[in-house]
Structure formats: structure tokens, C-alpha cells
Structure 1
Amino acid sequence: MEDHHGSSSAYLQLFMDEASLYNRIVLGSLLPMKLWDPLPHFIQSWVRNCIGGTLIYFLSASLWCFYIYYLNRNLYFPTDAIPSNKAMLLQIYVAMKAMPWYCALPTLSEYMVENGWTRCFSRISDVGWPAYFVYLAIYLVIVEFGIYWMHRELHDIKPLYKYLHATHHIYNKQNTLSPFAGLAFHPLDGILQAVPHVIALFLVPTHLTSHIALLFLEAIWTANIHDCIHAKAWPVMGAGYHTIHHTTYRHNYGHYTIWMDWMFGTLRDPQAQDDESKVM
């Protein structure tokens, strides 16, 4: 009998088939078959992830930059607070150098899933919708906790900050931060902050498609939290909170929500900071 933890070869084949489908959709749409079909499955998946990650990065950041800097110019920022094209091009350069390395992580996680090393399941029907949402909630809590502490340690451990995280923190004010800064990290820094997504696969049953989607959602989310626009959507860790992180370096390490910063005493609210600035 097959179980949803992937102990049988027949069940593991479902993961292989899913990855092969994604490879055919992405690679088959953009490249001649003779260029990618002979490649090993692992390399096909990595190339697919590189293409997918790059497309998501450029589409999300470009569309958002067009909306806030040009279509609604001066609505969100004064002209002197809009980052220069030179600054954004530098952010793109840093992100593109790191992209092939970033994409090794989802490729590796797929490989581990396909070999039955994780607790992933292929079909939601294997566990049912109620269990799926419970597992997804636990997965997100693990990711939130892990990213918070990984990010915090990248600041607290001086060699990690100096040689890794400082690459991202050269963008530390409104006229240098932009949606393109969202993936402008040292490659190892970006991988370390995404590792909790993979660790969660060994701790809680996880739907593979949801895991892949959440990894690529990172590119969209990081573009959003670097636009310096405070949406006031409590308890979301939006750009208002993250801009404070880039200016104080000691607050708002969280990812999607404010809960971890609230629990561990590192939360600084944008509204409270604005009030303090007015008093001063």
C-alpha cells in the first residue's frame, strides 16, 4: 500500500512526474527540445528554476517600480526619494549574479523530495483539505520562526554580517531601496534565509506544489517589502517595518508577519517611529 510520505517507488514517481511537467512547460516553451531534453533531470529542474525565478523577479519588480515611480510619480514619494536608475541597475546586477545559486535550493529540495527523504505528499487528497491547512499553518510558523532567527543571526554574528549580509544593507534609505533590492543579496545570504523552507519539509507533512509556490512567492514578497510604502496591513511585516530594519539594523527581522519580532522584543512600529520623529 502506498503512503503519502513517499515510501513506495510508485508514489515517488508522482513527484518526478510533477517536476518533469514543470520542466516541459517552462523549458519546452522557451528553448528548443534538443537543448534541454538530453540534460539530466536535476539539471533540467535547476535551469527551469533559474528561468522561473528570473522571470518572477523582473516581472514583479518592474511592474511595481513602474506603478509607484512612474505611473503614480510623486504620489508615494517626493522626486528626490525615488532611487536612481543607476542604483536599481546595481541591485539587478547583484541579484542576477546570485540567481543561479538561489535556484540551487529549490532544485535540491525537489531532489530530496523525489528520493523520499522528506515528509512531502503529492496530492492534497492524500491527507484531505482540513489536514492540508493545518500542515500549511505549521509549515508557515516554522518558516517564520526560522527566517527570523536566521536573519537576526546574520546581523548578530559579526563575520556573517561583514562578509554576507552587508551586501544587502548598502541599501539603507528611501532613495536607495527599491523593489529590485529584494533579491540583491550575497548568494549564500539569500540561501541561508530560505533554508527554513527546506527544513520544514523534514518536520511537517508538506504539499510539494505549495512548497515550490511559496519559495517563488519569496521573490514577489521581497520586492514588495523593499518599496518603502507602509500599507498598514497589521499584522503583516510590510515595507514600513522593513524600511525601519534597513535604517536601524536592530529591529523588524521578521518575514511575513510581526509576530516573531513582537515575541522576541525586536519590533518597532512605523507609526510609533513617525510619532517620535514629530516630537523630536
Structure 2
Amino acid sequence: MVAAQHHGGQYWRLFREETSWYNEMLLSVVLPGDWWRSLPHLVQSWLRNCIGVYLMYFIIGFIWCFVIYHWKQHAYVPKDSIPAVEAMKKQILVASVSMPFYTVLPTVYEYMIESGWTHCFFHITDVGWPMYLVYLALYLTFVECGMYWVHRELHHIKPLYKHLHAVHHVYNKENTLSPFAGLASHPVDGILLAMPHVVAPFLFPTHFRTNIALLFMEAMWTANIHDCIHGKVWPVMGAGYHTIHHTTYRHNYGHYTIWMDSLFGTLQKPEDIFKED
């Protein structure tokens, strides 16, 4: 609440105006008529988040699958690692059912920001670029640590694994994983894994637009780490590491980097398993 301490309640109107603009920008383009304008702001925001995630999921998924399975066929993924069309259809079905529930989280989160409950700030100039970078580093560190431990406990707490995370881990071989598998999870599982993004702004100042962008970048990142292509970019926890996670179940719980797994002894490197060509 850095800037709000100086500007008062007027400051929080900026966040509602911003989310209203997001609603107008997307819903006016994709929905016929203007019936949605009569809906409460919260419902409009949920509708916008839901449609936005569907669009990202299908556009990214289909483009990426076209590139790696058809246009650049066998250049990135061996023939025996290409998933069957039926497997991808099932992933799309699971993800499509879960997405309306996933998007409840960012919608409620936006409401809490608009209500002044968090430490979000609107303009980078409210804190200055040096502190913006410091807060961004804190945010990313918290998200990395938080997602590691949530993911790890979803494996180690048996009821959570059995009833939630196992839905995602039916995809346990290279030829069952695809960019569509990223969001193919139980909706509560997906919400739990995204929670660190939402908790962070309650703990320290967070730039609103950066936070929203990173939250929705999850859709792109999850597509990337399920394509089985090992990018070999240290210290990124890329698809090579995440493919191992789907086959051993006990390694590589990290999200963006390998640091947490290195620190807590759960790292398994792709070069230790797969022979170089």
C-alpha cells in the first residue's frame, strides 16, 4: 500500500479502471452485442479472464503443436515421442473443463486489489525503478519457493496427490506429454499451484500490471515445459527437467529455475539420464 498511503481511496480507483478497460478491450471484441455490460464488474472480470485463458491455451497450443509435430517434424521431438491425437484431445477436454474454475482465482484476486487489501502499486514511478526491480526480485523469489513447496507437497501428501495432482500425472511418458498437457489438471490443483502469485502482493509491494502479466504468462510457460524439448538454458527449469518429473515423480518440482531443487536435493539433470545425440 505504498502509494495509497499518500493518495487515499482515490488511488484504488485506478485498479478498477484498469480492469474495466481490460474487460472492455476483450469482451467488446469477442462477444456479440453489449449484453455483458449489464453484468456486475466481478462477473465481467471473470468472463474476461476465462475467455482470455481459453484463447491463450488454444492459440499457443495449436501453434506450438503445429510447429514441433508438423512443420519441424522430428527436428525437436523424436518420432516415438510425438503424442497421439487422442491423447491431446483428452488433455484439451480436461483443461477446458477446469479453466472456468482456474479463472476464479485471478478474478477474486483482482477484486481484493481493487478493494485496497494488498500492497500492489499502480505506477512504477510510485516506488521508482530501483525499488521496482527489488520488489520484482522478491516477488519472483517468493513465487519460485512457494510453487516448489506446493508442488512438492502435492506429491508427498498422499490424499492431495490421489484426489488432485494425479489427474495431471496420467501423462507420464514423453509420448503422452504435449503443450496441451500444461493446464490439464484438477482445477483445485491448478489453483493451489498458482496461489504464490496471489499471496506475494499481500506480503510486499508488487506492480499490478507486472503481476497480472506474470500470472497469465503461466499459460505460456506450462505449454513450454510440457513439450519434451530440452532447451539447455541454465538455470531454467525447462521441458527436459519437467519431462523427468513426469517420469520419476520425485524430482524437479521447481517452476522457472533449478535452484530450489538443487538446494533441497531433488534435482535430476536431463544429461544424467538421456544420452546426447
Q: Give the TM bin, normalised by the shorter chain.
A: over 0.9
- d(CA) in 1 for partners of 2:7, 2:139: 21
* Aligned twin of 1:163: 163
Tell me: CA distance 1:264–1:98, structure 2 relative to 1, closer, same or farther (3 Å): same
With over 3 angstroms needed to count, the CA separation of the structure-2 counterparts of 1:53 and 1:176, relative to structure 1, is same
Q: Tell me the distance in 1 between the aligned counterparts of 2:204 and 2:62.
A: 35
Q: Distance in 1 between matches of 2:126 and 2:33?
A: 34
The 8 Å contact of residues 28 and 34 in structure 2, kept in 1 or not, is answered as no
Q: In the alignment, which residue of structure 1 is the partner of 2:38?
A: 38
Letter in structure 1 aligned against 2:76: Y
Report the residue type matching 1:197 in the other structure: H
Instruction: Give 1:205 shift.
Output: 0.3
Other-structure match for 1:137 = 137
Task: Supply the distance in 1 between the matched residues of 2:156 and 2:129 (Cα, whole angstroms).
Answer: 40
Once the two structures are aligned, what percentage of the paired residues are identical? 62
**Preserved CA contact (<8 Å) 1:142 1:200:** yes
1:65 corresponds to: 65
TM-score by structure 1 length?
A: 0.95
Mapped pair 1:90 → 2:73: no
CA distance in 1: counterparts of 2:33 and 2:127, whole angstroms: 36
Q: How far does the alpha carbon of each residue in 1:219-259 deviate from its partner, in whole angstroms, 9 at most, with x for none?
A: 00000000000010000000000000000000000000001
The alignment's TM-score, normalised by the length of structure 2, stands at 0.96
* Runs of 4+, deviation exceeding 6 Å: none
Structure-2 change in CA distance of 1:5 and 1:191 (3 Å): farther
Gapped regions of structure 2 (runs ≥ 5): none
Query: Post-superposition shift, 1:129?
Result: 1.1
Q: Match of 2:23?
A: 23
Quote the Cα distance in structure 1 between the aligned partners of 2:134 and 2:92: 37
Give the C-alpha shift of residue 5 in structure 1: 5.8
Given the superposition, is the C-alpha separation of residues 54 and 125 from structure 1 closer, same or farther in structure 2, using an over 3 Å criterion? same
Summarize deviations over 1:70-108 as a string: whole Å, max 9, x none: 001121233232101110010000000000011011111
Answer yes or no: is the 8 Å Cα contact 1:228–1:239 preserved in 2: yes
Report matched runs for 1:191-202 at 5 Å: 191-202=191-202
Match of 1:262 in 2: 262
Whether the 8 Å contact between 1:145 and 1:260 is mirrored in structure 2 is yes
* Cα distance between partner residues in 1 of 2:90 and 2:48: 25
AA of the residue aligned to 2:247: T
Counterpart code for 2:126: D
- 1:229-248 equivalences in 2 (<5 Å): 229-248=229-248
User: C-alpha separation between the residues in 2 aligned to 1:6 and 1:44?
Assistant: 30
Q: Contact 1:5–1:121 at 8 Å: present in 2 too?
A: no
CA 1:62–1:262: 2 relative to 1, 3 Å: same
Specify the code of the residue in structure 2 equivalent to 1:261.
Answer: D
Distance 1:140 1:5 in 2: 25
- Equivalent runs, 1:216-235 vs 2, <5 Å: 216-235=216-235
**SS at 1:233 equivalent:** coil
1:163 deviation in Å? 0.3
Give the aligned length: 276
Q: Secondary structure at the match of 2:182?
A: helix
Q: Counterpart of 2:153 in 1: which secondary structure?
A: helix
CA displacement at 1:32 relative to structure 2: 3.5
Q: What is the CA–CA distance in structure 2 between the aligned matches of 1:270 and 1:221, rounded to whole Å?
A: 19
Q: 1:272 is matched with which residue?
A: 272
Deviation at 1:34, TM superposition (A): 2.7
Deviations 1:6-52 (A, max 9, x none): 87220010000000000000011112353210000000000000011
Distance in 2 separating the partners of 1:72 and 1:30: 32
How far apart in 1 are the matches of 2:4 and 2:63? 39
Aligned to 1:178: 178
Distance in 1 separating the partners of 2:144 and 2:84: 32
Contact 1:4 1:126 in 2 (8 A): no
Structure 2 residue identity aligned to 1:185: S
Choose 26-35 or 12-21, whichever is displaced more: 26-35
| Runs of at least 5 residues in structure 1 that lack an aligned partner in the other structure | none
1:142-153 correspondence runs (5 A): 142-153=142-153
Aligned partners of 1:94 and 1:185 also within 8 Å = yes
